């Protein structure tokens, strides 16, 4: 056997072997790309175990947090307690419920203007947050909630103090004054005094300022006056506790009443009724 015969047999054997292997490889490749054919077979009676989903806890949100580097404070309004119901005592609730937003004193007075008898009314807004002691004492006297000494009987009584009193002193462009149970401008009062309440924010800078007349150096009782012009020289010496907010025309007519040499009105100016109005 020569070299050519041997070479021919080797080539023939190689081609025959390759042709026999090609169909099986193509079948394998086609089965791999078929999406409907499973790659492996499993027993339908034996199903794989399904693991339950893991519970994921939500992150805890703090009630108050401060973002780093900002200095700002944030809060969850749904978790902040309602201070009006949860953290207030019964006493606090009662005080909050009863505390008025505004308090007014209403005076009905009779007087003579141009030889005619008249009855007018004016309203004073009380500064109950700035002169608390003075306003409290004033309200107690108006409503008769506190005992005071009756000069006629020298006994303590408990009834409205200002009803029936006179404006005993009127000076045009200055003041009109009342609160003296004797009505003679000699320093009468309720039989006791309270300390002054001086504030730099409360001054006699306009018409209608209501201020206490002093009884002694550092006290006052029941007498008060209404300014008929700015009187700054009284700042720091008398307690301002209110402002006329209605009935200014009545004050202006009373200012025109004639007086004697001692500034006492020739025609009586009488307080018919004094009352307190609270706005909640």
Q: Is residue 92 part of a domain?
A: no
Residue 159 structure tokens: 């009834």
Task: Specify the number of domains making up the chain.
Answer: 1
Beta strands in 26-174 (DSSP E): 64-65, 74-75, 102-113, 116-126, 148-150, 155-157, 167-171
Neighbours of 276 (CB within 10 A): 18
Cα–Cα dist 154/144, whole Å: 17
pLDDT tens string 49-92: 566 666 555 544 433 333 333 333 333 434 434 434 445 555 55
- Which pLDDT band, with edges at 50, 70 and 90, does 185 fall under? confident
Q: Is residue 43 part of a domain?
A: no
CATH number of the domain residue 275 falls in: 2.40.100.10
Based on its alpha-carbon atoms, the radius of gyration of the chain, rounded to whole angstroms, reads 49
- Which pLDDT band, with edges at 50, 70 and 90, does 48 fall under? low
- Which pLDDT band, with edges at 50, 70 and 90, does 183 fall under? confident
Distances (CA, A) of 93 to 52, 55, 89, 97, 113: 53, 45, 6, 6, 49
Residue where the block lists tokens 């307190």: 276
Q: Is residue 90 part of a domain?
A: no
Residue 227 structure tokens: 């300014």
Q: Is residue 227 part of a domain?
A: yes
pLDDT attached to residue 11:
63
pLDDT attached to residue 18:
56
Which domain range does residue 220 map to?
100-279
Distances (CA, A) of 174 to 120, 186, 259: 21, 19, 14
Question: Residue 117: is its pLDDT beyond 80?
Answer: yes
Q: Is residue 34 part of a domain?
A: no
Q: Is residue 162 part of a domain?
A: yes
pLDDT attached to residue 184:
80
Q: Is residue 235 part of a domain?
A: yes
Lowest mean pLDDT across 6-10, 107-111, 149-153, 165-169: 6-10
Mean pLDDT of 231-242: 96
Q: Is residue 231 part of a domain?
A: yes
């Amino acid at each position: 056997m020569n070299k050519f015969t041997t070479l021919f047999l080797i080539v023939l054997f190689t081609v025959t072997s390759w042709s026999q292997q090609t169909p099986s490889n193509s079948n394998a490749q086609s089965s791999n790309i078929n999406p409907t054919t499973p790659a492996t077979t499993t027993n339908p009676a034996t199903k794989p175990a399904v693991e339950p989903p893991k519970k994921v806890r939500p992150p805890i949100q703090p009630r108050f947090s401060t973002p780093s580097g900002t200095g700002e404070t944030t809060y969850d309004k749904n978790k902040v307690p309602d201070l009006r119901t949860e953290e207030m005592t019964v006493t606090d609730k009662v005080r909050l419920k009863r505390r008025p937003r505004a308090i007014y004193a209403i005076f009905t007075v009779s007087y003579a203007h141009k030889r005619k008898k008249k009855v007018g009314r004016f309203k004073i807004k009380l500064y109950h947050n700035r002169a608390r002691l003075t306003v409290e004492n004033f309200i107690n006297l108006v409503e008769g909630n506190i005992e005071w000494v009756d000069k006629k009987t020298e006994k303590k009584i408990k009834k409205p103090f200002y009803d029936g009193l006179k404006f005993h002193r009127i000076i045009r462009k200055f003041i009109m004054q009342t609160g003296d149970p004797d009505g003679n401008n000699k320093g009468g009062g309720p039989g006791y005094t309270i300390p002054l309440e001086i504030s730099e924010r409360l001054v006699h800078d306009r018409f209608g300022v209501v201020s206490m007349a002093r009884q002694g150096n550092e006290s006052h009782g029941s007498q008060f006056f209404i300014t008929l012009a700015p009187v700054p020289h009284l700042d720091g010496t008398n307690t301002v506790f209110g402002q006329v907010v209605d009935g200014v025309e009545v004050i202006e007519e009373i200012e025109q009443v004639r007086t004697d040499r001692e500034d006492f009105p020739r025609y009586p100016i009488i307080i018919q009724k004094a009352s307190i109005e609270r706005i909640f």
